[in-house]
Amino acid sequence: MNWNNLMSSARLGDSKEKRVSNPLRSDFEIDYDRIIFSAPFRNLQDKTQVFPLPDQDFVHTRLTHSLEVSSVGKSLGKNVGARVLENNPDLKNLTPFDFGAVVGAAALAHDVGNPPFGHSGEQAISDYFLHNPKALQIKERVSEGEWDDLIRFEGNAQGYRLLTKNQKQGLRLTYASLAAFSKYPCSSSLSSRDKSRKSQKKYGYFKAEQDAFSEMADRLGLVSLSESEPVFARHPLSFLVEAADDICYSIIDLEDGFGLGLVTFEEARDFLAEILGDNYHPEKLENIASDKEKIGVLRAVAINTLISQCSEVFMQNEADILNGTFDQALTDLIPVNNTLEKLSSFSIKRIYQSRQVLEKEAAGFEIIDGLLDAFIEAVFCKFYDKEKYSGRHKSVYRLLPSEVQFKLDWAKSPYESTLEVTDYISGMTDSSAVKQFKILKGINLA
């Protein structure tokens, strides 16, 4: 892989690159702006990151998390971009800000495919197709690969679908930003999955978007890892998107846990001090009045430390990243990795398994299963089992937004119809999912 191809500003569906004439706003900055103003991104403001939204204190939503990941991503991209350009003086049409803009845009979008109720939402959708008897009617009508997409629902693949659907009216991002977004450049049914490669831990596109993904990979010159299946090495900048996410959720979840009283000041301080190492100066905290502000200051310096270390690891492995042989998380190789691993184990016990988090997850399973059960049945009776289409099904179907009904009218197969329903439900906010569930169950008619 080479940087000239990898930083292509061509957009999906375009035959060639069309650079913008405005020198103050690059193609990659346009990507960022398009994502900011998109409905999937806007909906993140009411989607759970980890904690349910409390009455007393601020915690992160998917939206604030994504903004912070994007900020960290921009810094990582500019750091790496400056070094890459220094080592490759022939890359005259690029600046460090282009690298920062690509990583910033991809990081901004990294969670747009996640359903409501946190990561449990993904499992809830998968569980419906795996365990609900009504889902068997779908299994009989789809291919094995399509069924794999449904029973292993993946927010990353859903995100790629949202970013590439409706290209004439949609986001139409550059190939570079789309590929940097794609941390898992393989399908759900990859038969030759290599568990040693971080990029094959999950999958990054549904069967419905396979052609678009392959077109993107071909245009950018991503390394193909199989002669028989569409699986590729990561775009180099996707390692920085992943690192930005890893940095933010490690540090910010700790800060949220402290704010909610799940973590003591001393515990949070000591983890952050361990990351800072020799740069930790406890005497400087004495002039800060509140413990909350002290943790905020330590958090900021810790993030800067992790940005510096991840940038250095990337540059140390640049050659292997470009030839497709490097496939690890950058945070696994930084000097403070042992501290991050201890922090991860601590967070699982004290934060992610706290009662308020578990209650939100349990409710999410119930709500998402109920929504899928109602809407999938109504859609399949209307289009594929018309003799069973009852008045109840008709009422439920009419609750779908008009744009969803329009897309269902044009769906060409049971697989496409199912994806339109999962598009709708995974795109819901936490609040809208709860409201729709109550309406369907007759709990709330006000």
Q: Evaluate whether residue 103 is within a structural domain.
A: yes
Q: What is the CATH number of the domain that holds 250?
A: 1.10.3410.10
Tokens of 60: 């992160």
Task: Kindly state whether residues 97 and 127 are assigned to the same domain.
Answer: no
228 within some domain: no
Statement to judge: residues 56 and 176 lie in one domain = yes
Residue 173 counted as domain residue? yes
376 lies in the same domain as 270: no
Q: In terms of C-beta distances under 8 Å and separation of at least 24 residues, what long-range contacts does 125-129 make, across chains too?
A: 125/153, 125/368, 125/372, 125/422, 125/425, 125/426, 126/150, 126/151, 126/152, 126/153, 127/365, 127/369, 128/368, 128/369, 128/372, 128/373, 128/376, 129/153
* Together in a domain, 139 and 214: no
Does 94 fall in a domain?
yes
Q: Is 61 helix (H, G, I), strand (E, B) or coil?
A: strand
- Dihedrals phi, psi of 227, to nearest 5 degrees: -80, -20
Is 239 contained in some domain? no
Q: Is 201 exposed, middle or buried (0-12, 13-18, 19+ CB in 10 A)?
A: middle
Domain extent for 84:
3-12+27-116+147-220
Judgement on whether residues 8 and 67 belong to the same structural domain of the protein: yes
Q: Is residue 226 part of a domain?
A: no
Burial 329-352 (b: 16+ CB within 10 A, else e): bbbebbebeebbeebeeebeeebb
Q: Is residue 333 domain-shared with residue 431, that is, in the same domain?
A: no
For residue 234, is it within any domain? Answer: no
Identify whether residues 318 and 336 lie together within a single domain: yes
Same-domain pairing of 261 and 344:
yes
Task: Tell whether 229 is covered by a domain.
Answer: no
Identify whether residues 192 and 329 lie together within a single domain: no
406 and 375, same structural domain?
yes
User: The CATH number of the domain where 381 resides is what?
Assistant: 1.10.3550.10
> Total domain count for the chain?
3
Do 66 and 164 fall within a single domain?
yes
Residues 336 and 427 in one domain: no
Strand, helix or coil for residue 262: coil
Digitized pLDDT (tens) for each residue of the chain, 446 residues in all: 999 999 999 988 776 666 665 667 899 999 999 999 998 999 888 876 555 544 445 567 888 889 999 999 999 999 999 999 999 999 888 999 999 999 999 999 999 999 998 778 899 999 999 999 888 889 989 999 999 999 999 999 999 999 998 754 568 899 999 999 999 999 999 988 888 999 999 999 999 999 999 999 999 999 999 888 899 999 999 999 999 999 998 898 888 888 878 889 999 999 999 999 988 888 888 889 899 999 999 999 999 999 999 999 999 999 999 999 999 999 999 999 999 999 999 888 877 777 777 777 788 899 999 999 999 999 999 999 899 899 999 999 999 999 999 999 999 999 999 999 999 999 999 889 999 999 988 886 55
